[in-house]
Amino acid sequence: MPPALGTLLVILAGFLALPMSMSGASVAIPRIGADLDTGGAAAQWVVTGYFLTASALMLVAGSLADALGRRRIYRLGALVYAIGSLAAAVAPSIGLLLAARVLTGLGAAGVMASGGAILAATFTGVARTRAFAAMGATAGFGLALGPSASGWVVDSLGWRMGFGVFALAGLVLMVGTLILRETRAAARSRIDVTGAAVLAVGLAGLMLAVSQAPARGWADPLVIVALAVGIVGLIVLIPIERHAPNPVLDLALLRNRRFMGWMLAATTMAFGYGGVLAFLPSYLQSPVGNRPSTTGLIMLLPTVPMALLPPLAARLVNRGASPAALITGALLLLSGGNVWLSVLHPDVDIATLAGPLLTVGAGVGLAAGIIDAEAMNQIDTDHAGMAAGMLNTVRGGANALVLALFGAALIALLTTTLGSPELAGRVATGNIPTTDAEILARHLTGAWRTTLIGLAGLCAVAGVVAGSLVRTVDHHEHTAST
């Protein structure tokens, strides 16, 4: 097997397993809530905690990969990921389960940041575009396959095995690193520990505030402190990184208009799909009444366009199509899919959901096929880990944020109509009491429709802005750079 092909297969294995564990956990939330006697924000943090940890530490992992070796960080990440998955499978309480998911997210940060950097260091030009398109297709397939696979496992073996199987996946990734070639930056620089710590704390503070505010209220001391820590942390980060000899976040990247345009596109893609991916499985189980395995099959609908369209998008770009036009169209398609999905109702069937979910999947597939390669084309190979880390930080942070905001919107809208934040939290995550179940289902459906339409509007505006930022003045300049 050619070394480059072996490298690609190992990296793709990671980008299949990790997104599956991200999305698959959402299917198990109702059973976790019932088994561990919890609900609302605490239960949803089984998913959000994973996203939050991974996104907060992705940049750190990318910088470490550049300095210490990308294969080394990939291997270490896979080990931590396996340990966290095993701990989640045996956790006796919601607190220990959340801690295990945080550990799993820590490992995922190492695998995903260093994986993208390894691809950037291994491939160039047209081959790089194809490699990242394959990565996007694989990640999209993993996200879509996660609920279906986890639904089958949860139905057959219980929610604990839904986490346990990914411990084995982590061990497989570790073995796979034996065929990888070690790469790192030409000059080994000192690690920016201070910047890394401030960045992680700042992001964590913001996510904690957003996730807890719906249940506690914005005047709650915990929310106020978390929000203050987040804002101050990110403000303080700027002068720290400006004077750091080897910053964990190179501020020059923030001044690159096209790079930031692709970051916005990645954020919008995550917003347009993340909330639906995390919360729709709960709705399809209660109030709709599907089993976890059936829910997983429904959530498999976006898989086909998410698997088939990334290579097509890459091929179009390599043949001269405008990346700006393509990404704008993809994000507008994603917006339209969210509007269409507002046909949700408690008696909805798979035929009704097929159109909107396939449309959402098509938008994600087209966007995923070009975002990573186009963003990585804006930086030099020595900073591949940092750029990959930043890209995944933005994407993971957006996923964590949309989970918090989507849930917050549902809970806030339900609280307005139900008058009880606690009841609203349980209804939003699919734990609907049998008393007045029909009325509660109607309120939940109304909250879903309002949230989806608002999300669609946000995606449409962001898609147009992102397309404007990445637009190339001279088309030949783009052709030469790729």
> How do the domains of the chain map onto residue ranges?
3-192+245-481, 193-244
Q: Kindly report the pTM of this predicted structure.
A: 0.76
Over 70: is that where the pLDDT of 183 sits? Answer: yes
If we measure between CA atoms, which residue out of 100, 124, 123, 104 comes closest to residue 112? 104
Which band of pLDDT confidence, cut at 50, 70 and 90, is reported for residue 253? confident
Provide, rounded to the nearest whole percent, the portion of the chain with pLDDT above 90. 28
Over 80: is that where the pLDDT of 96 sits? Answer: yes
Over 70: is that where the pLDDT of 250 sits? Answer: yes
Taking a C-beta distance cutoff of 8 angstroms, is the pair 17, 176 a contact? no
> What is the predicted pLDDT for the residue at 83?
95
> What is the predicted pLDDT for the residue at 472?
62
Over 80: is that where the pLDDT of 404 sits? Answer: no
Buried b vs exposed e over 395-424: b needs ≥16 C-beta within 10 Å? bbbbbbbbbbbbbbbbbbbbbeebeebebb
> What is the predicted pLDDT for the residue at 189?
63
The Cα 253–Cα 448 span in angstroms is 37
Counted residue by residue, the chain has a size of 482
Mean pLDDT of 146-155: 78
Nearest-5° Cα angle at 409, 406 to 414: 130
- Look over the chain and give the mean of its residue pLDDT values, rounded to a whole number: 84
Range with the poorest average pLDDT among 127-131, 352-356, 369-373, 393-397: 393-397
> What is the predicted pLDDT for the residue at 59?
79
Which band of pLDDT confidence, cut at 50, 70 and 90, is reported for residue 211? low
Which CATH code is given to the segment(s) 3-192+245-481? 1.20.1250.20
Mean pLDDT of 384-402: 75
